[in-house]
Amino acid sequence: MTTTKKKPLSTYERFIQDPKRRAALEKEYKEFILSELLLALMESDEISVRKLAKEAGLSASVIQSIRSGEQEDIRLSNFKNIAEACGYHLVLEKGKEKILI
């Protein structure tokens, strides 16, 4: 007779089993991704916070708070302005249909 031992769950695995903790983690992760995306856009264009703010029509403090992850909720219009200032466009895609925002 063979007995199989279950591998103990890691701290992370136990943590995300709680729905409230999982939801909070997912929200924080989305915020982290936005700030990382902004950093990547700025690095690829070698653009400063002040220059990006000027080109996006935003204050430098708004750019800095997004970049640092302090701003929890970014307006779509601000994100669009930042992306366009870095030469990108936002696109909604469903199947083969694409809509430029």
Decide if 4 is inside a domain: no
For residue 88, tell me if it sits in a domain: yes
Predicted confidence (pLDDT) per residue in 47-87, tens digit: 999 999 999 999 999 999 888 878 877 888 998 999 899 88
| Percent of the chain's residues with pLDDT above 70 | 96
Give the pLDDT of residue 25: 87
pLDDT value of residue 1: 58
| Higher-pLDDT residue of 50, 32 | 50
- Residue 2 in any domain: the answer is no
5 within domain boundaries: no
Q: What is the mean pLDDT of residues 82-101?
A: 91
- At 15 the pLDDT is 85
DSSP state of 99: E
**Residue 71 pLDDT:** 80
Give CA 101 to chain center in angstroms: 18
For residue 62, what are its two tokens? 């708004």
Residue type, 48: S
The count of structural domains within the chain is: 1
Angle made by CA atoms 54, 44, 30, in degrees to the nearest 5: 85
Q: Which residue has the higher pLDDT, 20 or 12?
A: 20
Distance, in Å, from the CA atom of 60 to the CA atom of 81, rounded to the nearest integer, reads 13
Whichever domain contains 68, its CATH number is 1.10.260.40
Is residue 30 a part of any domain in this protein? yes
Q: Can you tell me the mean pLDDT for 80-98?
A: 91
**Residue 12, domain member (yes or no):** no
Q: Show the domain range for 79.
A: 18-100
| Alpha-carbon separation of residue 87 from 18, 23, 29 (angstroms) | 41, 33, 25
Task: Look at residue 63 and tell me if it is in a domain.
Answer: yes
The answer to whether residue 46 is domain-embedded is yes
Q: Does the pLDDT at position 33 exceed 70?
A: yes
